[in-house]
Amino acid sequence: MSSHQIQTEFERKYAEQLKGYERGYAVINLDAIENNMDSMHDHLTPGTKMLGVIKTNGYGHGAAKIGKVLEELDYCFGYAVASFEEAMELKRAGLEKPVLILGHTFPYCYGELAKNDIRPAVFRADCLDGLCRAAAEAGKRLKVHIKVDTGMGRIGITPDDEGLAFVKDVLVRSELEIEGIFTHFARADEYDKSSAKEQLRLFKDFCHRIEKELGYRVPIRHCSNSAGIMEMPEANMDMVRAGITLYGLMPSDEVSAEGFDFKPVMSLHSHISYIKTIHAGQSVSYGGIFTAKKDTVVATVPLGYGDGYPRMLTGKGSVLIHGRRCPIIGRICMDQFMVDVTELAPAVREGDEVVLLGRMGDECITAEEIGRLSGRFNYEFVCLISDRVPRVYLRNGELTV
Ligand SMILES: *Cc1c(COP(=O)(O)O)cnc(C)c1O
């Protein structure tokens, strides 16, 4: 490797360990996870707990590995996931903090749910009998979180008399214990916070009614997602749920990261598999939508939409090689795509590092940029990086594979 070829610091340092990862890999910086959690925690009302949202395999970053980091943070109450299967994966990984399932839990898993102390979100009256039976069979009191719909229009009880009757029904069941109550903002990531504020008002009023009319103060009341954590300190309550910002990504381009120290956790790397020069009139990739106007040096990158790299970046995206931006030419294929490296010739070589997401030299490609260009958004892009891309982990500045 000649000295003018800019590699990421990561590849320079771990050249030996990274053998076998040439086709492509994602680096997950677990130190950045801790940094991002700390940065959010610094802004919270003292005593506010945090829930790490690690659904969809930790937004594609690796749920169990991230859970292990969160397990050590005393202000982190536990983990939020989307399904029973995700919850069990954390249990099997040996994580001991509480796990909350944010979505609906179907009856087939009640037995295992109760045995493993996994907290379901409850909002359907027809589910309560089954949950009670499972709790009784497990010989446990099952902790649940009531889900309230204050404007998201997705799942949850209504914050009115009917909702209050539901809470009462849960309260009288000795097999169940209401540990938490929560709602979810639909529009906290917008400049205009009026809708989110209205949701917060409805939620606080409803919690107040439970206390006053049913005589129960729910121990953990929570509503904020990342956008709420960043811009609605009045919504902290007892706990907040940190999702996208845990990964150093932004909830939207309408929220400001000022005062926060968020570091992106994931970067995506590959290596040039082939270089050739094509001449004016020659086309590249399916459909022949790119035709060279002049001699062009073309590098092939051995990742594609089968790895979760969006096909919609065709004709729009770029990658970093030698610290410079190289435009994607022709359609992105399932397993490969091509970039124009004419500007880097003749120094550019097969085997040179390619950064698809992250920093190299002075240039940086963010998930936000890829999200915008591909018509996916940043959340979706990282979630969909496929299993075919191995994740390698950095902790305390060291590589753990
Ligand atoms: C996904 C999710 C979150 C996290 O949202 P972010 O915008 O990623 O912070 C919080 N709460 C609920 C109910 C969710 O479904």
CA pair distance 136, 139, nearest whole angstrom: 5
CA pair distance 111, 130, nearest whole angstrom: 9
Here the contacts of 276-285 (C-beta below 8 Å, separation 24 or greater) are 277/345, 283/330, 284/329, 284/330, 284/338, 285/329, 285/330, 285/331, 285/332, 285/333, 285/337, 285/338
Q: Which residues of 244-261 are buried (b: 16+ CB within 10 A; e: fewer)?
A: bbbbbbbbbeebeeeebe
The atom of ligand 1 lying closest to the CA of 245 is 9
> Is this model's pTM higher than 0.85 or not?
yes
CATH 2.40.37.10, the chain: domain bounds? 9-22+273-400
**Residue 4 pLDDT:** 54
Distance 190 CA to ligand 1 centre (A): 15
Burial-class residue 362 by CB neighbours within 10 Å (0-12, 13-18, 19+): exposed
- Give 193-251 as a DSSP string: -HHHHHHHHHHHHHHHHHHHHH----SEEE---HHHHHH-GGG-TTEEEE-GGGGT--S
Residue nearest to atom 15 of ligand 1 (CA): 102
Report the candidate in 295, 351, 293, 296 with the shortest Cα–Cα distance to residue 321. 351
Residue 355: alpha-carbon gap to chain centroid: 20
CATH 3.20.20.10, the chain: domain bounds? 31-247
The atom of ligand 1 lying closest to the CA of 244 is 8
The answer for residues whose C-beta is within 8 angstroms of residue 332's C-beta and 6 or more apart is 285, 304, 305, 309, 310, 311, 313, 314
CA pair distance 286, 282, nearest whole angstrom: 13
Report the candidate in 142, 98, 114, 115 with the shortest Cα–Cα distance to residue 239. 98
Distance 197 CA to ligand 1 centre (A): 17
Distance 226 CA to ligand 1 centre (A): 7
CA pair distance 307, 25, nearest whole angstrom: 10
**3-state SS, residue 259:** coil
Q: Which residues of the chain have pLDDT under 70?
A: 1-4
CATH number for the region 31-247 comes to 3.20.20.10
Please tell me whether the peptide bond between 107 and the residue prior to it is cis, using omega within 30 degrees of 0: no
Tell me the per-residue pLDDT of 332-383, one tens digit each, with 9 for 90 and over: 999 999 999 999 999 999 999 999 999 999 999 999 999 999 999 999 999 9
Q: For a pocket test of ligand 1, which of 102, 203, 236, 265 has the largest count of ligand atoms closer than 8 A to its C-beta?
A: 102
**Residue 2 pLDDT:** 46
Tell me the per-residue pLDDT of 121-163, one tens digit each, with 9 for 90 and over: 999 999 999 999 999 999 999 999 999 999 999 999 999 999 9
Distance 102 CA to ligand 1 centre (A): 9
Active site residues: 55, 286
Distance 15 CA to ligand 1 centre (A): 37
**Residue 6 pLDDT:** 84
Taking CB atoms and a 6 Å cutoff, what residues make up the pocket around ligand 1? 53, 102, 184, 225-226, 241, 243-244, 251
Q: Which two tokens stand for residue 395?
A: 């902790």
Cβ atoms within 10 A of the Cβ of 383, count?
17
Q: For a pocket test of ligand 1, which of 53, 101, 146, 224 has the largest count of ligand atoms closer than 8 A to its C-beta?
A: 53
The atom of ligand 1 lying closest to the CA of 229 is 9
**Residue 90 pLDDT:** 98
Residue nearest to atom 6 of ligand 1 (CA): 243
CA pair distance 69, 301, nearest whole angstrom: 33
Distance 225 CA to ligand 1 centre (A): 5
The atom of ligand 1 lying closest to the CA of 55 is 1
**Look-up of token digits 């340092």:** 13
The atom of ligand 1 lying closest to the CA of 189 is 7
| Residue 329 · residue 340 · CB < 8 Å | yes
CATH number for the region 9-22+273-400 comes to 2.40.37.10
Rg (CA), the chain: 24
Residue nearest to atom 1 of ligand 1 (CA): 243
Residue nearest to atom 10 of ligand 1 (CA): 225
| Residue 157 · residue 149 · CB < 8 Å | yes
Backbone φ, ψ for residue 307 (5° rounding): -95, 0
